[in-house]
Amino acid sequence: MSRLVSPKVLVVSSWFLQLSEREKQMILQSYQLLEREKEHPSGFTDFSFILFPVSKAYEGFLKRYLLENDLIAPEAYKSRKFRIGKAINPDISPSHRDEHWVYDDIVRVCGEGLARDMWQAWLECRNRVFHYFYDEDNVFSLTDIEEMIAQVLQVMATAVACQLGDDLDGVADITAGQTDP
């Protein structure tokens, strides 16, 4: 099971400081919901609601990341029609790729590993949680959600490290059980 770093460690992390205030607030809201559920169990069977703020922060982060790395134009960033899932999906058929498909550009900027991780986090921690699939069990335990939060935050930390020109191999595992400062 993943163990997220404490909020005290999170808020002073160099990558976290690069996020917008709105993104920070949404991530911390998920932390608060997670802690509240651990301290005062509700008896719910599905904890997707805890991940929602992190998923929204991730979407905003990805759009801003693509804009700041000149992978999308300001018009796409502001557009209500721009779709992250389509833009970063490595499996889009070449005939359906348009000027907004940026998977190969992410690979060029930060490598195949980060591009694949961005897509996997989107698929597993956003689409699987937000959408209902009749043939899947769409119920997520508290442990599932904690692991999904860690997955999204790890991708964000790695993306920020790449953007800042840091060594990607040196990115700390945000689930490494670090203690409060």
Domain boundaries, the chain: 7-170
pLDDT digits (tens, 9 = 90+) for 121-132: 999 999 998 888
Is pLDDT of 169 > 80? Answer: no
Q: Express as a percent the part of the chain with pLDDT over 70.
A: 90
Mean pLDDT of 2-18: 87
Judged against a pLDDT cut of 50, whether residue 180 lies above it is answered with no
pLDDT higher at 59 or 136:
59
Q: What pLDDT score does 99 carry?
A: 87
What's the one-letter identity of residue 151?
Q
- The first and second tokens of residue 119, run together, are 């897509």
pTM: predicted TM-score of the whole model, two decimal places: 0.89
Q: What residues are paired with 3 via a beta bridge?
A: 176
Q: Which two tokens stand for residue 81?
A: 């029609």
**Residue bearing tokens 């209500």:** 80
DSSP-derived letter for residue 88 is: S
- CA-nearest of 66, 95, 105 to 82 is 66
